[in-house]
């Protein structure tokens, strides 16, 4: 695109409502310098004739190829000189040409460096977990009331649960009536804390294993967590291994608290998730990229029925079936294959060696740049009617229609982090 990138502005208006800026989380100077050979990056838009420049907003469908940006966004950029692409998560195709994929990896795994206060406390939390045990499991547990209500799943809480979730679901006007049974069959319902614990025990992790749980507010509170704590008494969170004073600078900012959890999860010997959100996908990809540390993802499509009938079989039968169903979901190196989401499987940046280890692909950064101005206020929006499309572009448009941005700004947020 031959464009200059303005340091991204983080979304402050959607579900999490966190006022943190990019610079509150990441080392901006390092970000700019590390990518200097790839793209020119500036901290803010320059003045336009002495006035603040109002970028032109271009809404881009999800999972677009580089050709889409060249054919659809560049003409607007050339005309308006500054554009903003909002909600940029998943706005690029999983499959780009090789050099762009490698640039993705340089950005995701090398250019993004947490600021010192976050990094230092995160590493200290890892150290404290290591002091408790040489090895530990980290569990990213998404079981917040809002998330469960949005998912449309049912967890056996009767009318009380249905009423509570029903009230929450009214926030989103575009949500359709849910079918909990269908959601379970399709694997879209997060495992409960107890189900995660049973899965791990069935996979062979004993009650003496130390576990670090990264989570927000858990629906049902202590009662919901009690079975997991019973299965794994060595239960830890950042609140149990850090003091109130240590967490105070971060506790009012969900993104900064999540960054602390991210560091501990990344450093864990085994990372486990009960969901398929952005944080889980990015951590899975990062752990593959830096050496295939195991990431356990539940095969929810098959496990849900097993959990329903577990009281009708012996523990040995249950354990055997869990192990069988989890093949291919344990983060082993051979699970890396072409296809699938890039963030979860950055296979184009990893090659296999004869000894089964992984080696990072390096490349000379190519000249050129990405885009885009990302300011806080929308001033004007580009419509999709940007002239006649080529036949190829029309096919691309058809491919991405089912993933267009939702009108509800919170919808993508709910299942993302």
Within 10 Å of residue 130's Cβ, how many Cβ atoms?
Answer: 14
Residues in a beta bridge with 138: 212, 271
Q: What percent of the chain has pLDDT over 70?
A: 82
Q: Average pLDDT in the 148-169 region?
A: 89
pLDDT at 369: 30
Give the tens place of pLDDT for each residue, 232-272: 999 999 999 999 999 999 999 999 999 999 999 999 999 99
Q: Where residue 16 falls among pLDDT bands split at 50, 70, 90?
A: low
CA distance 122 to 141: 18
Strands 350-352 and 358-360: antiparallel
Statement: residue 378 has pLDDT above 70: no
CA distance 408 to 348: 33
CA distance 411 to 146: 11
Within 10 Å of residue 59's Cβ, how many Cβ atoms?
Answer: 16
Statement: residue 383 has pLDDT above 90: no
Statement: residue 203 has pLDDT above 90: yes
Most confident stretch, 86-95, 105-114, 366-375, 392-401: 105-114
- For residue 346, CA distances in Å to 94, 109, 172, 308, 326 come to 9, 11, 33, 35, 21
Q: Where residue 179 falls among pLDDT bands split at 50, 70, 90?
A: confident
Least confident of 9-13, 285-289, 406-410: 406-410
Among candidate residues 117, 73, 146, the one with its CA nearest the CA of residue 373: 73
Contacts of 396 (CB under 8 A, 6+ apart): 64, 65, 67, 68
Torsion angle of the four alpha carbons 63, 407, 14, 186, in this order, in degrees rounded to the nearest 10: -60
CA distance 184 to 288: 28
Give the tens place of pLDDT for each residue, 108-135: 999 999 999 999 999 999 999 999 999 9
Statement: residue 354 has pLDDT above 70: no
Among candidate residues 334, 329, 341, the one with its CA nearest the CA of residue 298: 329
* Three-class secondary structure of residue 187 per DSSP: coil
Return the axis-axis angle of helices 193-202 and 300-308, rounded to nearest 10°: 100
Answer yes or no: are the C-beta atoms of 271 and 329 closer than 8 Å: no
Among candidate residues 235, 282, 279, 234, the one with its CA nearest the CA of residue 255: 279
Q: Average pLDDT in the 97-114 region?
A: 94
Answer yes or no: are the C-beta atoms of 117 and 249 closer than 8 Å: yes
Statement: residue 367 has pLDDT above 60: no
How does the average pLDDT of the chain come out, rounded? 83
Q: Where residue 351 falls among pLDDT bands split at 50, 70, 90?
A: low
């Amino acid at each position: 695109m031959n464009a200059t990138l303005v340091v991204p502005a983080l979304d402050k208006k959607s579900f999490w409502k966190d006022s943190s800026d990019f610079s509150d989380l990441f080392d901006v100077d390092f970000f700019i310098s590390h990518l200097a050979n790839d793209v020119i990056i500036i901290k803010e838009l320059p003045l336009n004739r002495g006035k603040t420049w109002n970028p032109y907003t271009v809404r881009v469908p999800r999972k677009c190829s580089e050709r889409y940006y060249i054919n659809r966004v560049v003409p607007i950029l050339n005309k308006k000189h500054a554009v903003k692409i909002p909600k940029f998560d998943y706005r690029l195709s999983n499959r780009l040409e090789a050099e762009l994929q490698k640039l993705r990896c340089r950005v995701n795994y090398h250019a993004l460096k947490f600021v010192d206060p976050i990094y230092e406390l995160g590493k200290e939390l890892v150290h404290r977990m290591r002091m408790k045990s040489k090895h530990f499991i980290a569990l990213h547990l998404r079981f917040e009331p809002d998330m469960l209500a949005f998912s449309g799943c049912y967890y056996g809480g009767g009318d009380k649960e249905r009423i509570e979730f029903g009230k929450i679901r009214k926030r989103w006007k575009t949500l359709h009536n849910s079918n909990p049974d269908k959601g379970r069959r399709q694997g879209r319902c997060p495992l409960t804390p107890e189900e995660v614990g049973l899965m791990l025990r069935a996979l062979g992790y004993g009650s003496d294993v130390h576990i670090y749980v990264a989570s927000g507010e858990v629906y049902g509170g202590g009662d919901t967590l009690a079975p997991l704590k019973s299965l794994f008494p060595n239960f830890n969170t950042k609140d149990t291994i850090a003091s109130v004073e240590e967490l105070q600078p971060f506790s009012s900012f969900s993104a900064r608290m999540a960054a602390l959890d991210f560091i501990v999860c990344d450093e864990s010997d085994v990372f486990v998730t009960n969901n398929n959100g952005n944080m889980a996908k990015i951590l899975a990809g990062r752990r593959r990229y830096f050496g295939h540390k195991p990431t356990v993802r539940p095969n929810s499509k098959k496990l849900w029925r097993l959990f329903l009938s577990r009281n009708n079989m012996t523990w040995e039968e249950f354990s055997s079936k869990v192990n069988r169903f989890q093949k291919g979901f344990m983060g082993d190196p051979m699970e890396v294959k072409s296809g699938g989401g890039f963030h979860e499987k950055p296979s184009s940046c990893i090659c296999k060696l004869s000894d089964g280890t992984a080696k990072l692909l390096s490349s000379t950064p190519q000249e050129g740049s990405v885009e885009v101005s990302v300011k806080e206020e929308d001033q004007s929006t580009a419509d999709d009617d940007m002239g006649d499309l080529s036949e190829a572009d029309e096919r691309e448009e058809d491919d991405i229609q089912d993933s267009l941005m939702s009108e509800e700004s919170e919808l993508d947020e709910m299942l993302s982090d």
